[in-house]
Structure 1
Amino acid sequence: MNLNYILAFGCSLIVTLLVMPKLIPFLHKIKFGQVEREEGLASHKAKGGTPTMGGMVFVLVPILIMLILNPKAFTSMEMLIVIFAYLGYAVIGFIDDFLIVVKKNNDGLKPSVKFLMQSVLAVVFYFIYQSIAQTSVNIPVLHISIELGFLYFVLIFIMFTAESNAVNLTDGLDGLCAGTSLIAMAPYIIFALMQKESDLAMFLLAVCGSLIGYLKFNLHPAKIFMGDTGSLAIGGLLAATAMILKEELLLIIIGGVFLMEVLSVVIQVTSYKLTRKRVFKMAPIHHHFEMCGMKETQVVLMFWCIGFIFACIGLWLGVI
């Protein structure tokens, strides 16, 4: 493996491991803590006050590492789209987190404003990308490419807005979002290496290194949460990566856990509005399993395993 890949991964991991022990007490000091929902599980009430916005670290550290180790990556339009998607959605999440910790409630950004900001970024990235690439999608297994024309805009819009929100919904248990995100990134690192997109592979490895460093402090009982800063950023990164690598359709499978989470919310809300009955004991679906009696750590491990299966299937479909 290229030495730069190892350096990017290792440096991001080490810097994150060094920064986190300093950041956690600082966030405690300025009272940037998690605000638990009133309607949330009783077992989660104790998490109130746990520092949030930890996503700042695994967003900024990989970008800084890339600037130091591989500054030429920032001259590529494709890489700029990926990096600014990561950073742009992180900024939206940061604003949301900041409003929550300042107001000391879970209001944050109004959902309509939040979605508008996510939509604007999706539109911007689409128009930049379509000026340098084809508006077609590759069909896995069949090895054919289909030109979508305007429908490609619809696909990209859904990818960015849905993926960022889906990852956000997954961030509900200690270690759940970080672990499933790491698993989902692995196939795309392999795809990037296969397509000789070395800069992208290096950046994703840097992100993974930093995420692993963050995960050390996010495992149960979590000492810090990523907040919307981290979850929206990861969603934006996965969507941008899938777009750049022309593996858009495989994101549905590789990000299967995120799809499960968002579908559980859609099903729950729709069912309750139409029949006044709930399909799940609580949504997103990871809370359903908690309410069925599973321990938080058991639910997280189960979802990691499910995510691993989805990632393997997606990788297999992408390479056959």
Structure 2
Amino acid sequence: MDLRALFFTAIAAFAIALLLGPISIPILHRLKFGQSIREEGPQHHKAKAGTPTMGGVIILLAVILTTLKFAFDSLDTLMLLLATVGFGLIGFADDFIKIIKKRNLGLTAKQKLLFQGIVTILLFILLWYRQGADHSFGVHIPFSNWVVPLGIFYVLFLLIVLVGTTNAVNLTDGLDGLLSGCAIMVFAAYAFYAYWHTNYDAALFCAAMVGALGGFLAFNRHPAKVFMGDTGSLAIGGGLAMVAVLTHSELALILFGLVFVVEALSVMIQVFSYKTFGRRVFKMSPLHHHFELVGWSEWEVVLVFWLAAFICAFGTLALVSR
């Protein structure tokens, strides 16, 4: 397989997403699947209330159709789609409950963890079956040849990777086009990383994600005509985490997706500081809202975060590929 296959896969996914947008958005409008805006968020965001959400179905369909067409019929492809669709369905249920109950709270934390645990166990079983090929239940230390063997305990590590990644990605979905653009940068870098490590299934999947997200961004850029919702953000996080697992780069994912990590850390720091000292470190968390409240326009915040995501993803790619 040559690099042209990645290009054609991305273009195909991009075209499918572009075609699905004008079909899906009016349907979401008619179904009244409008976004609820949290009360504690920036006040100017309330103008976005009612914008169709659950647009992540556009991304999911484009990725599924393209991956099944261009990727190889393999266990790796099955696991990538299971992680993406499995977590996407959890997000879909969360979005649906929010819409039906007209509130900004969907599944409870325990319910989410239960469903995420089920998907994780299914993936671990498939990885165990695949182990006879080339998957080792060990954690590779970046920039070294060290591997920490985990054996059966890898299932707990896998849960941490999947849940941590999906939550961090989900927290980044707070401004028009923010997550879409950042995820494009990370998946693009991982497409090359997987290709250079001859994991062509993961490379083609990443290319499909880049194309699908690019097509979705045409409708999600400011001012957004549709939001991806948890349907999209959890699907993106699940797929990204599984790419890291299959390329043995679970710890390197922290660097590839450093923007997502910083967003999650900003929330943790804010909560810890407020509960411990009664003070807030940021004007609002996640971090992108802090920059909004210090006077940056939404578009300025998005562009800076896209640039940061590009530098982190491709900077890491350059370092780990040496």
Normalised by the length of structure 2, the TM-score is 0.94
* 1:3 shift after superposition: 4.7
Corresponding residue for residue 168 of structure 1: 170
- Give, in whole Å, the separation in 2 of the partners of 1:318 and 1:103: 46
Corresponding residue for residue 233 of structure 2: 231
| 1:155-304 correspondence runs (5 A) | 155-304=157-306
- Give, in whole Å, the separation in 1 of the partners of 2:4 and 2:184: 21
Q: Which stretch of structure 1 is more off in the superposition, 135-144 or 15-24?
A: 135-144
Asked if structure 2 preserves the Cα contact closer than 8 Å seen for 1:10 and 1:209, the reply is yes
Amino acid at match of 1:266: M
* 1:34 shift after superposition: 0.6
- Give, in whole Å, the separation in 2 of the partners of 1:230 and 1:317: 30
SS in 2 for 1:314: helix
Which of 101, 114, 117 pairs up with 2:115? Answer: 117
Q: Which stretch of structure 1 is more off in the superposition, 159-168 or 123-132?
A: 123-132
- Give, in whole Å, the separation in 2 of the partners of 1:98 and 1:218: 20
RMSD between superposed Cα atoms in Å: 1.5
Asked if structure 1 preserves the Cα contact closer than 8 Å seen for 2:170 and 2:234, the reply is yes
**Number of residue equivalences:** 317
- Give, in whole Å, the separation in 1 of the partners of 2:118 and 2:68: 26
| 1:58-137 correspondence runs (5 A) | 58-70=59-71, 73-74=72-73, 76-131=74-129, 132=131, 133-137=135-139
- Give, in whole Å, the separation in 2 of the partners of 1:112 and 1:307: 31
Asked if structure 2 preserves the Cα contact closer than 8 Å seen for 1:169 and 1:262, the reply is yes
Asked if structure 2 preserves the Cα contact closer than 8 Å seen for 1:122 and 1:161, the reply is no
Corresponding residue for residue 40 of structure 2: 39
- Give, in whole Å, the separation in 2 of the partners of 1:288 and 1:299: 10
Cα gap change, 1:69 to 1:134, in 2 (>3 Å):
closer
Q: Which stretch of structure 1 is more off in the superposition, 308-317 or 173-182?
A: 308-317
1:235-292 CA-to-partner distances (Å, cap 9, x unmatched) read 1111100000111111011110111111111111111111221111111111011111
SS in 2 for 1:109: coil
* 1:66 shift after superposition: 2.7
- Give, in whole Å, the separation in 1 of the partners of 2:20 and 2:279: 46
The answer on 1:311 being equivalent to 2:316 is: no
- Give, in whole Å, the separation in 2 of the partners of 1:32 and 1:171: 18
- Give, in whole Å, the separation in 2 of the partners of 1:7 and 1:304: 24
Alignment gaps of 5+ in structure 1: none
Corresponding residue for residue 25 of structure 1: 26
SS in 1 for 2:140: strand
Amino acid at match of 1:26: I
- Give, in whole Å, the separation in 1 of the partners of 2:3 and 2:262: 36
Amino acid at match of 1:55: G
* 1:150 shift after superposition: 4.6
* 1:146 shift after superposition: 2.9
- Give, in whole Å, the separation in 2 of the partners of 1:244 and 1:46: 41
Q: Which stretch of structure 1 is more off in the superposition, 143-152 or 165-174?
A: 143-152
Alignment gaps of 5+ in structure 2: none
Which of 138, 142, 145 pairs up with 2:147? Answer: 145
SS in 1 for 2:214: helix
Asked if structure 2 preserves the Cα contact closer than 8 Å seen for 1:140 and 1:317, the reply is no
